[in-house]
Structure 1
């Protein structure tokens, strides 16, 4: 399911941002605790972080604030229809403003990593540390594809073409494609994904991406993926610590290329790269204990 709590921030003329906060009332962070912002992966929602919100050790030690980026979940933007990952990063920082959070750690799964890094570049004084899960700081370049990483264009471009035209005769009849729903699950959760997980995310995608607004959201979300800018030259300006976890069963980005890219954070106070055995692309779901241990280590070490 998508976030049930939203807040309005000013970027792009007004964004209603969906979020999930681990405080008792779901709206007021505990000022005595550090905060970690979590940004979800492609075509998922804050529900991607159910295991983290259920982990008492994590919620005891920090506020968890999951924010749905533009094109995802309950987040919507009017009147603007076009946006980038930079816009999602600005939006997330403005959500922090609205909730009275001055500084935070930022965790991102897959595309969430692209947003988290952009947050650190835009507001270096506010991001205490980065945790990157199953991600890449490159775009899907020719170099990336030679490093055993995926080539999404042949897969995604036909969907974008279909989604570029309103459903006829009634635009509100749009429903997300069954094939797309299945692909999101299998690419992200790996070969051992359960039927229950597949059905949960199929229903979530059907709920989020329906009607003409849903068509526009998923179209722009996927266009962002295909036409984003790489961060290889920019990340040398990131000074906060970076903990990067990559799974051995990730079929989207290879652990070898991820480790190579982690070395580009040359100004970070610490860069720790870890390979997670058995972890698929969405590491926080397939190997939640390893992610929790790493996040607790990062936050406890750099919360002051």
Structure 2
């Protein structure tokens, strides 16, 4: 079980150890690196080396002595994962909060990031309305009331799609964890800074993709990100998907990721052809 030490935190990660270009992926809030298992299966017949890590406070990664951190720290964690694997360059990407980390990786180490995959994410800080919503939500999540109704209401919105089996897999994981342990990660989410004004510094090829029914990463937010990135084209939309399209629609998302890797790599990656995106 590989870990890398980053800023007093032991960060858990997993790699396919494939021989081709590296695709480093960061997961969404309340998830862990296993959310990319469906993507790994789709890309298994290519030579893409899929690497993913658990963010602080998620999966097998804790907080260290000081639980305070921000998405710049998570970006540094991602770079330390690449260091541990001896990987100098990678296409980096993420879902939701993972996209916040991926963007910051591209700003911290532009010489190492050869492409950017932004899935159901944005580049702005929370609005005051967002802050109020999250503060109330996490007070309830970390409180003493019944957690199951809250988790069952969250899963369709956080994950989306129509496969309730996926929802219940994650609901059961949430219920099995210490519900209060997510608080420092929630404070990071709420207090994040806007980097929209710096998007123009990121010039590598970029994929901006969202689920059709994602009410968090809206069309306007995603378009604003794509417009700010010199290397991005129009926003790609996954039909029928929600906020967790990497989980629910891995064939479509995997095909888009493979195309990005091909665009960022001097040698060809076997294409993944899927309709509906």
Q: How does the TM-score come out when normalised to structure 1?
A: 0.80
Task: Describe how 1:1-304 pairs up with structure 2 within 5 A.
Answer: 5-11=1-7, 14-22=8-16, 29-30=17-18, 32-55=19-42, 57-58=43-44, 60-141=46-127, 151-161=129-139, 177-190=147-160, 192-194=162-164, 196-207=165-176, 209-210=177-178, 215=180, 217-266=181-230, 268=231, 270-304=232-266
Q: What number of residue pairs does the alignment pair up?
A: 266
**Compared CA separation, residues 90 and 301, structure 1 to 2 (3 A):** same
**Compared CA separation, residues 179 and 221, structure 1 to 2 (3 A):** farther
2:22–2:50 CA contact under 8 A, matched in 1: yes
Deviation at 1:206, TM superposition (A): 3.1
CA distance in 2, matches of 1:154, 1:179: 21
- Which structure 1 residue ranges, 4+ long, deviate > 3 Å from structure 2? 151-155, 159-165
> Which consecutive unaligned segments of at least 5 residues does structure 1 have?
23-28, 143-150, 168-174
Give SS of 2:228's match. coil
Q: How does the TM-score come out when normalised to structure 2?
A: 0.87
Deviation at 1:120, TM superposition (A): 0.6
Give SS of 1:64's match. strand
**Compared CA separation, residues 114 and 284, structure 1 to 2 (3 A):** same
Deviation at 1:177, TM superposition (A): 2.6
1:43–1:184 CA contact under 8 A, matched in 2: no
Render the CA deviation track for 1:19-44: whole Å, top value 9, x for unaligned.
2222xxxxxx34x3111011110111
Deviation at 1:159, TM superposition (A): 4.3
2:141–2:150 CA contact under 8 A, matched in 1: no
**Compared CA separation, residues 162 and 250, structure 1 to 2 (3 A):** closer
1:58–1:296 CA contact under 8 A, matched in 2: no
1:250–1:280 CA contact under 8 A, matched in 2: yes
> Which consecutive unaligned segments of at least 5 residues does structure 2 have?
267-277
**Compared CA separation, residues 10 and 227, structure 1 to 2 (3 A):** closer
CA distance in 2, matches of 1:128, 1:76: 29
Deviation at 1:59, TM superposition (A): 5.3
